[in-house]
Amino acid sequence: MILLRNLLFTLFFGIGSFVIVGLAPVSALFGQRAMIRHATAWTRFHHHMVRWILGIRVAVEGVRPASPVLYAAKHQAMWETLELQMRLDGAAMVLKRELANIPVWGWAALRYGAIPVDREASAGALRQMIKAARHAKADGRSVLIFPEGTRVAPGETPPLKPGFAGLYGALDLPCVPIATDSGLCWPRKGLKRPGVITLRYGEAVPAGLPRREAEALIHRGINALERLD
């Protein structure tokens, strides 16, 4: 049954994504806000496919702030990259530059206002990331970063990458940690399994704290759901 669920999800989400992403150039004609609405329609479609085909439900804990902030989220699966777009009112998401090279999708992501960054995190790449994030802030948008830099397995708690501290210091916004245990239902390898994914908004970290203090609070917040037996 789990195998069948995975096959059906791949089929229907793949077909739907081909159509929705393929129509992105039409939305782009009407500006960035139209692109954000288009992306939200795609991620909402993903949410429903995950719920009704894969049998994965979402339990939300904590309160999401109403004003723009810097979000720092745990990254265990592709799931949260789409789910959070839907839930965070079109936050500008920091993503690896290779994704921006995907035909059509990458172009649409840039028109949406995604913030590409090189894995090497050179000084030039960090400056470009901060510049793009400041533009998003000026437009009244939140910014979302996965501060560990890549997907990790449940139970893994690597240190934060330097890009987080750069954004936190430059944006002068409170930072809200988001913990998730998505990897329990959505492993990096193997079949996706029915169950409940928890999404927890942590307590906001005020702007302007010393780097080490802010990093420690965010690291603790995004790992609040980890089982470290």
CATH superfamily ID and name for 57-222: Glycerol-3-phosphate (1)-acyltransferase (3.40.1130.10)
The answer to whether residue 229 scores a pLDDT higher than 60 is: no
Query: What residues form DSSP beta bridges with 73?
Result: 178
Burial class (CB in 10 A: 0-12, 13-18, 19+), 166: buried
Residue 214 near residue 175, CB atoms below 8 Å: yes
Top-confidence range, 18-32, 50-64, 95-109, 122-136: 50-64
**Residue whose C-alpha is closest to residue 195's, from 84, 55, 10, 80:** 55
Q: Do residues 155 and 226 make contact, with C-beta atoms less than 8 angstroms apart?
A: yes
Residue appearing with tokens 């928890």: 198
What does the pLDDT look like over 101-118, one tens digit per residue?
Answer: 777 777 888 888 888 887
pLDDT per position as a tens digit, 34-75: 999 999 999 999 999 999 999 999 999 999 999 999 999 999
- Please state, in angstroms and rounded to a whole number, the distance separating the CA atoms of residues 103 and 99: 9
Residues making up the chain, counted from first to last: 229
What DSSP element (H or E) covers 115?
strand 115-117
Domain boundaries, the chain: 57-222
What lies within 8 Å, CB to CB, of 136 at 6+ separation is 91, 92, 113, 115, 142, 143
Q: Using 50, 70 and 90 to split pLDDT, how confident is the model at 228?
A: low
Residue 125 has pLDDT above 50, yes or no: yes
Separation of alpha carbons 182 and 172, rounded Å: 29
pLDDT tens per residue, range 150-175: 899 999 999 999 889 999 999 999 99
